[in-house]
Amino acid sequence: MTVRLLTLAIFAAPLFAQAPGPRDAAARIIGHQVVESRAFEKLRHLTDRIGHRLSGSPQLEQAVAWAQAEFRRDGLTNVRAEEVQVPKWVRGVERCEIVAPANHRLALLALGGSVPTPAGGLTAEVVEVRTFEELERLGEAAVRGKIVLYGQAMVRSGEDGPGYGTVASLRTRGAVAAAKLGAVGALIRSLGTASFRLPHTGATHYEEGVAQLPFAALAAEDAELIHRLLEQGPVKVRLELGCSTGPDVPSANVVAELPGREKPEEIVLIGAHLDSWDVGTGAHDDGAGCAHVMDTMRTLVALGLKPRRTIRAVLFTNEENGLRGGRDYFERHKDELERHVAALETDSGGFRPQGFGWTAGEGADRLLRELVAPLRAIGADGLRVGGGGADISPLARARVPLLGLRVEGTRYFDYHHTEADTLDKVDPTELAQGTAALAVLTWGLAEHAETLPRPPLRAEDAEAQGQRRRPER
């Protein structure tokens, strides 16, 4: 046993002295993850033996088949693949260089969903902005025929400046905003927190009726180089992207269940996304989440814990470039969503767990404090209002209480959506701790006599429902 595991066992040991009941179950779960976790083993197979899992790729479908077989091997029932049509986007050639005032080869990745450049590439001057407001102030006269560079730097969590949630809109909507002012292409400083000349990919979107521009992410150092050169005069760049988008192809959400012994019709959902980008192997995003979910289910079976309610594991497809898996789950299961008593998602990496964010009705904090109390031994009992995840976000329309595993994520955006998101960045002990945290709260939600109060209907969902109910005129 390593020093880290031994330390965790010492902290968990006092829990075993508790009287039989929920805390006893929590102690058994934590102890099992200390000495018998299989989370890292599962993640190693997913990343090293299967690899990246972009929607539409053979690797994603290999992962779908493997996950079903693994759930069955671990003793789960009602294991199935629920088919989902997903986009098929292929990266192709990627080249970019400064051609004036000096020659520099740039490191970049096309953004997911980007269109290609014209054959042979395109060459144009660059204009730099940090925000959409700056772009609007430049106006069409300054932007037409140019390549727009969004040069806003992202900072680490807790530092002053824009974080991921602020700058991500530049990536998703940047091509549309540039096209509306006549640009011929777009570049963005990678949304990341490390400077290792490592470009970060991610999804971008287009708007019907607006010209579709090729769009790519530059390594931070190369965005800084262009910024310095622009301070001295015009900069001209040659960009070549060979991206292509084909017809939708079939994939699937992988579902497995641990049936409830008293209220099998009530469901606690735990989920992560099985797909990844086509760079790196998706170890933190979101292979770690899949390992959390899969080994949570294995642990409960191995310990003979039979919950009051059904626990349903879902490994969603196509989170990264379409969210088709999450949306399909909502539509396919909408008739039973009123019986979903909670949905938990883990999609923040395999780092040390800190607790959970939650979105539920008034008074939920009292029950949650009780359920996470045993996790104080591993420092994972923190609670914060506001939680969920992309794949379970559609369930908010059915007022399902949503929760998300929170981890110590200051390094997450060093690797996120890059070639560096590989298994060596994941600590096995921290991954086991995250699995223990997810398993303890999952068990508590499925076993406790009470359920979380449902949140009020969001204003936008209430308005949408009102629109659907109105008779046609």
The 10s digit of each residue's pLDDT in 264-276 is: 999 999 999 999 9
Between 14-23, 72-81, 224-233, the lowest mean confidence (pLDDT) is in 14-23
- Type of residue found at 386: G
DSSP letters, 141-157, are HHHTTSEEEE-PPP--T
In eight-state DSSP terms, residue 463 is: H
Using 50, 70 and 90 to split pLDDT, how confident is the model at 397? very high
Strand partners, 263: 309
Nearest to 187 by CA among 221, 145, 151, 159: 151
The 10s digit of each residue's pLDDT in 94-142 is: 999 999 999 999 999 999 999 999 999 999 999 999 999 999 999 999 9
Is 400 in contact with 340 (CB distance < 8 Å)? yes
Strand partners, 272: 315
- Type of residue found at 406: R
Query: For the whole model, what pTM was predicted?
Result: 0.93
| 142 Cα distance to chain centroid | 37
Is 167 in contact with 191 (CB distance < 8 Å)? yes
In terms of residues, how long is the chain? 473
> What is the CB-side half-sphere exposure of residue 187 using CA atoms within 13 A?
36
Share of the chain above pLDDT 70, in %: 93
Q: What is the pLDDT of residue 161?
A: 86
Is pLDDT of 200 > 60? yes
Active-site positions read 319
Is pLDDT of 181 > 90? yes
Residue with tokens 């420092």: 379
- Per the prediction, the chain carries an average pLDDT of 93
> What is the CB-side half-sphere exposure of residue 357 using CA atoms within 13 A?
12
**CATH dotted code for 92-242:** 3.50.30.30
**Mean of the pLDDT values across residues 168-179?**
98
Using 50, 70 and 90 to split pLDDT, how confident is the model at 464? low
Pairing, β 147-150 against β 122-129: parallel
Q: What is the pLDDT of residue 4?
A: 46
Q: What is the pLDDT of residue 459?
A: 74
Assigned token pair, 447: 């076993």
Indicate the Cα dihedral angle 189, 182, 115, 273, nearest 10°. 50
Is pLDDT of 205 > 60? yes
| Dihedral sign computed on CA atoms, order 26, 28, 30, 32 | negative
The 10s digit of each residue's pLDDT in 302-355 is: 999 999 999 999 999 999 999 999 999 999 999 999 999 999 999 999 999 999
Question: Strand, helix or coil at 407?
Answer: strand
DSSP letters, 313-326, are EEEES-TTTT-HHH
Q: What is the pLDDT of residue 22?
A: 65
Is pLDDT of 36 > 60? yes
Q: For 3-87+247-460, which CATH class?
A: alpha beta
Per domain, the residue ranges of the chain are: 3-87+247-460, 92-242
Pairing, β 309-316 against β 244-258: antiparallel
Nearest to 247 by CA among 447, 88, 105, 459: 88
The 10s digit of each residue's pLDDT in 82-102 is: 999 999 999 999 999 999 999
- Type of residue found at 154: M
**Mean of the pLDDT values across residues 188-214?**
97
Is 34 in contact with 270 (CB distance < 8 Å)? no
Assigned token pair, 274: 């099985």
Is 241 in contact with 116 (CB distance < 8 Å)? yes
Q: What is the pLDDT of residue 8?
A: 46
Is 346 in contact with 272 (CB distance < 8 Å)? yes
Q: How far is residue 123's CA from residue 276's CA, in Å, rounded to a whole number? A: 31
The 10s digit of each residue's pLDDT in 139-172 is: 999 999 999 999 999 999 878 889 999 999 999 9
Let me know if 2 is exposed, middle or buried by CB neighbors in 10 A (0-12, 13-18, 19+): exposed
In 91-190, which ranges are E strands? 94-100, 104-105, 108-110, 122-129, 147-150, 185-189
Q: What is the pLDDT of residue 406?
A: 98
Instruction: Using alpha carbons only, give the angle 163, 167, 168 rounded to the nearest 5 degrees.
Output: 110
**Mean of the pLDDT values across residues 398-416?**
97
Assigned token pair, 324: 């088709």
| 253 Cα distance to chain centroid | 15
CA distances for 406 relative to 217, 346, 415, 443, angstroms: 27, 8, 17, 17
Q: How far is residue 314's CA from residue 462's CA, in Å, rounded to a whole number? A: 27
Is pLDDT of 12 > 70? no
Q: What is the pLDDT of residue 462?
A: 61
Pairing, β 236-241 against β 94-100: antiparallel
Is pLDDT of 301 > 60? yes
